[in-house]
Amino acid sequence: MGMAWGCRFCQSAAGAFLHALLVLLYASLQPEPVDGNNFAIKQMRVRLIDNSDLEECSFQVWGVATVLVGGANSGNQFYWLDCFHSSLETTWLRVDPGGSVDNTDVSGGTRISFTATSSNHLGLYACMASGGAMEYLNITDEVPGLIPVESSVEAFSGDTVTLSTYISTTNGLLTYVQWKDPSGDTVLEYPAPGEEVNALPSDLVISDASLEESGTYNVTVQSREGLNFRGHTLIFLSVLVPSNITGPPPSELTVDEWEETRLVCEARGSPPLTITWSREGSMLPIDSGIQTSSPYSNEDGTVTVTSTLTITGSRYRDRGRYSCSAYNTLTTISHTDTAESTLNINPMIRIESEDLTSNVVLASFGTSLTIQCFGSGNLVWTTPPNQTVFTSYDPSRNLLTLSIPNFITPARYTCSSDLVAGLEKTILIITDGMVLANVAVFCTCLCS
C-alpha cells in the first residue's frame, strides 16, 4: 500500500475500530561486514496488535522509519518494536527525550513494547548494535511535515509581520532551520554557529515591513546529523503601502454660478491605486467630468495617480460636500484615504439677448425682440414700480414668455429670483423709433 506521509489506521468492516494496524518495516540496507564500527539493521519489524482488521505499510519521514499511532479507538491497542541483527547484539535507546527503555530479548533481537494509552512513548528511538552504530525509528501520533500556517500572507507597510510554519512531530529529528528572503539572503538561521540547540523556532518575525520585502520566503529544515534530510516550504508575503492622498483638493471653495469649477486630487500608494469622487456621500459616475491620469511609477515601487473633477457651468444645485477617495487593495486587506472639499456657489442671474450690450438693449423700430433670463429658483419679470409682467409658463420647457406693449420711451425690465433676497438683474430697452412692436421676451427658469 503506497502512502505519502504516514501509515493510516484503517477502519474494520464493521467500523468498530477506526485505526488498526499491523505495520511491517523492512530496511533495505543489507549488513556490511562487521568491523566494530559499521552497522546495519538486518531487519526492523514493528507490529501493532488489535482485534480488528490488520494492514501493512512501509514509509519514511525525513529519512527515518516512522510509525503513526493513536486514534479514536487507540485505548486497547498494544504494539511492540523488534530490532534484529544478523550477528550483533542489539538494544533499544530513547533518543528524544533521552533515556533508557525496557528491552526484552527475543529470538535474534530485542523488543520494546507499549500500549497506546498515553503519549509518554512518543519520540525518537534508536536501535544500537554492540558496535555502536544505530538505526533510528520515530513514533508519532501526528502526520509529520513542515506545514506553512498560511502559504500567503498580506500586511501593510510598517506592520510587524509573522510568517509561521508548523513543524510537526519534530521529536528530536530536526535540529536546524533556515529562512531566506525573496532575494535569497539568509535572514534567520538557527542555531547560529557555536550556539546550542534549544527549541527549534518555526516563525520568522519581520518588523516594520516594507514593500521591498514582498516576495517568496523559503523555509528549510534539516534533520540531525546522520539522518541526511533537508525539507523546505514556501511562504509568499505581499506588503501593501496604504493609499495616501498627497495633494488634496481645497477644503473649501467658493465660485460664482456659471463658472467652471475644478477639483484636483493626488494620491500615492501600492498599485493598483484607484481614485473616486462622491458628492454628499453618493458616488459620481466616471462620465460626470472626472479625468484620471495614468499611474506614475515611483522609485520605491509605489505609484502616483491624479484625478480631476471638472464642473462645467456650475449651477447652484452643484453646491455641497465633495469627497476624493484613494483606494488600494490586495486579496484580504485594503485601505482608503479620503479628503473632503466644500463647494459654495454664489447664485447669479444671467440675461441673454442678441442686442444686449452692457445691460442695455437697443431695438429697431418694427422688429421683434427676444430676451432670455437664466437663474436658479423661481424667476419673474417686473417693471417699475415693481409691477409683475404676467406671462404664460411652460413647465415642460421651463420658459417664461412676455408680451410687451408698444412704447416710445425707454423701458426698464428686471428679472429676479426668489432663491436669495436681492438676486435680480435689470436691463434697459431703448428703441430707435417711435413704436416697438411685437416684442417677445422669454424668461427661462432653471430651478435647483
DSSP string, 179-209: EE-TTS-EEEEESPTTPPP-SPP-EEEESS-
Supply the DSSP string of 95-142, one letter for each residue: EETTEE---EEETTEEEEEEETTSSTT-EEEEEEETTS-EEEEEEESS
CA-CA distance, 146 to 321, in Å (whole number)?
55
- Where do the DSSP E strands lie in 330-368? 334-346, 350-352, 356-357, 360-363
Strand partners, 360: 357, 428
Does residue 75 sit in helix, strand or coil?
helix
Q: Which of 77, 88, 220, 239 is closest to 146 using CA atoms?
A: 220
Lowest mean pLDDT segment, chosen from 15-24, 194-203, 221-230: 15-24
CA-CA distance, 195 to 394, in Å (whole number)?
93
CA-CA distance, 135 to 63, in Å (whole number)?
11
% of the chain at pLDDT higher than 70: 62
Cβ density class 177-216: b for 16+ within 10 Å, e for less? bbbbbeeeeeebebeeeeeeeeebebebebeebeeebbee
**Taking the domains of the chain in order of start, what are their residue ranges?**
1-143, 145-240, 244-346, 350-444
Provide the pLDDT confidence category of residue 401 given band limits of 50, 70 and 90. low
Res. 346: pLDDT tops 60? yes
Residue range 1-143 forms a domain whose CATH class is: mainly beta
Q: If 0-12 CB within 10 Å is exposed, 13-18 middle and 19+ buried, where does residue 98 land?
A: exposed
CA-CA distance, 394 to 415, in Å (whole number)?
17
**Which whole number is the average pLDDT over 409-421?**
84
CATH code, 244-346: 2.60.40.10
CA-CA distance, 213 to 195, in Å (whole number)?
28
Task: Give helix then strand counts, H and E, for the chain.
Answer: 0, 39
More confident of the two residues 328 and 67: 328
Q: Nine-digit cell at 157?
A: 507597510
**Which whole number is the average pLDDT over 329-345?**
96
| Common-topology check for domains 1-143 and 145-240 | yes
Res. 368: pLDDT tops 70? no
**pLDDT tens per residue across span 160-187:** 999 988 765 444 566 678 899 999 999 9
Q: Nine-digit cell at 130?
A: 554492540
Q: If 0-12 CB within 10 Å is exposed, 13-18 middle and 19+ buried, where does residue 145 land?
A: middle
Q: φ, ψ for residue 318 (rounded to 5)?
A: -85, -5
**pLDDT tens per residue across span 216-271:** 999 887 765 545 556 678 999 999 999 999 999 999 999 999 999 999 999 999 99
**Which whole number is the average pLDDT over 320-335?**
96
CA-CA distance, 117 to 120, in Å (whole number)?
9
H-run or E-run covering 380: strand 379-383
pLDDT at 95 (0 to 100):
80
CA dist list (Å): 252 to 262, 278, 381, 448:
12, 15, 34, 21
Number of residues in the chain: 448
CA-CA distance, 305 to 246, in Å (whole number)?
10
More confident of the two residues 263 and 68: 263
Q: Which of 444, 428, 430, 427 is closest to 391 using CA atoms?
A: 444
Centre a 10 Å sphere on the Cβ of residue 115 and count the other Cβ atoms it contains.
12
Q: Nine-digit cell at 108?
A: 535474534
Would you say the C-alpha torsion 157, 161, 165, 170 has a positive or negative sign? positive
pLDDT at 112 (0 to 100):
79
CA-CA distance, 150 to 180, in Å (whole number)?
17
Q: Nine-digit cell at 45?
A: 519489524
CA-CA distance, 340 to 338, in Å (whole number)?
7
CA-CA distance, 390 to 264, in Å (whole number)?
45
More confident of the two residues 121 and 444: 121
Single-letter code of the amino acid located at 416? S
Does residue 262 sit in helix, strand or coil?
strand
pLDDT at 41 (0 to 100):
37
pLDDT at 137 (0 to 100):
75
Q: Which of 267, 155, 246, 276 is closest to 209 using CA atoms?
A: 155
Res. 53: pLDDT tops 70? no
Does the domain at 145-240 match CATH 3.30.360.10? Answer given as: no
pLDDT at 118 (0 to 100):
60
Res. 369: pLDDT tops 50? yes
pLDDT at 160 (0 to 100):
96
Contact of 113 with 106, CB cutoff 8 Å: no
Q: How far is CA 288 from the centre of its chain?
A: 30
Provide the pLDDT confidence category of residue 306 given band limits of 50, 70 and 90. very high
